[in-house]
Amino acid sequence: MFTLSKKSNYPLGIDISDLSLKLIQLNKIRGKIKIQAISSRKLLEGTIQDGEIINSTNFNQELKKLISKPEFGNIGSNDVSACLPDSKTYIKLIKVEKSINPISDIIANEIQKNIPLLENDMYYDWQLISEEKNNFNILIGAAKKSIVDSYIENLSQAGLNVVSLEPEPVAVVRALLKEESPSKVNLENKNYGIIDIGAKRTNIVFYSNNSIVSSISLPISGNEITQKISKTLEINMEQAEKAKIICGLDKNKAKGIIDDILKDMIKELIEKIKESIDFYETNYPNLGLLNSLILCGGGANIKNLDKEIEENIGIKTSLGNFKEKIDETSEKLEKYFITTIKSEKDKENNELNKKIQKDLAPGYTSAMGLALKGIYLEE
């Protein structure tokens, strides 16, 4: 079906979202983590809806193209680590009281209290994070059986061997946080809120004491923001996406028109983030306040979004950078992740077309986290 390169046997990291597929495979050469292959494909609208594969035919066609025609490099394995959709998974840090009963039995009971799925309808897993005098701190994760089975079936039909499926927040924190690296040397014990702005949804992941604490979905998406620009200015989605990246929340660009359009939606996003932070602080007061917010996902490229969030919430905010986890030159990274787009000519300002660089890396965060799993397990 497709030719395999002998350069790398590490599993492919494949991020499956409602509108696209993204793939990264890594290799380790003389102790250095290198990129073996990068690939992406767009999916037809409706192929996946709210995390469920509706159109298997289109999904499998694009999945095969993803593997056989990467943008860079060659695929070196048919093993795959993929992520399960945020909307169909549950992940949470819980505290369970020590007992004479086996810990697995205790957790099975706690799962029913904390996960809104029937036991026969879900797969679940757990990890012991820390132990106190009278309690265990356990990270639990669960997903609907029908979703997991569907992902395995469709990936297998493309000739892939599924070695792991995991909730997307797990892949995201692995990609972005030094705390998730195998060698944790001289790291501060920080608390993070990671805001993943996807095409169809936004998710905020809270992380403390070297563990995910909880994950919350927010009803705002990158596509929704682009659509508002498109509808208001009566331009197509491609032009609207350019305007979002080039102008964003910069009042000095395009006479502040894009900033005005985005203002209400960004205000709503900030309010939802505040509500989520309040939830975290109320339910986990012993963990301490957040030290920083990190943006990722394809919708995180809005100009000045990090500054706007930081000014309104009062917590240091930055764009996530997984590039620190790999050993590539800046020239290679630019080749892989930097694309050039042109701004539209503004007749009123007599502005000529300008070449603007867009960093695609935030949209590959989940794929990178999945690809790193095999490397980190080995280390």
Per-residue pLDDT of 284-314, as tens digits, reads 999 999 999 999 998 898 889 999 999 999 9
- The more confident residue out of 171 and 248 is 171
For the segment(s) 88-143, the CATH number from 3.30.1490, 3.30.70, 3.40.50, 2.40.128 is: 3.30.1490
Is the pLDDT at 251 greater than 70? The verdict is yes
Fold of 215-362: Nucleotidyltransferase; domain 5 (3.30.420)
* pLDDT tens-digit series, residues 225-238: 888 888 888 888 88
* pLDDT classification of 214: cutoffs 50, 70, 90: very high
What is the domain partition of the chain in residue ranges? 88-143, 215-362
Specify the pLDDT at position 102: 87
d(CA 26, CA 36): 5
Q: Name the percent of the chain lying above pLDDT 90.
A: 59
Could you tell me the pLDDT band of residue 3, with boundaries at 50, 70 and 90? very low
pTM: predicted TM-score of the whole model, two decimal places:
0.90
- Mean pLDDT rounded to a whole number for the chain: 89
Residue 338's alpha-carbon distances to 47, 94, 332, 356, 361, in angstroms, are 28, 40, 10, 10, 8
Query: Is 221 a residue whose pLDDT tops 90?
Result: no
Per-residue model confidence as pLDDT tens digits over 173-200: 999 999 998 876 556 679 999 999 988 8
pLDDT value at position 99?
A: 86
* Burial class (CB within 10 angstroms; exposed 0-12, middle 13-18, buried 19+) of 308: buried
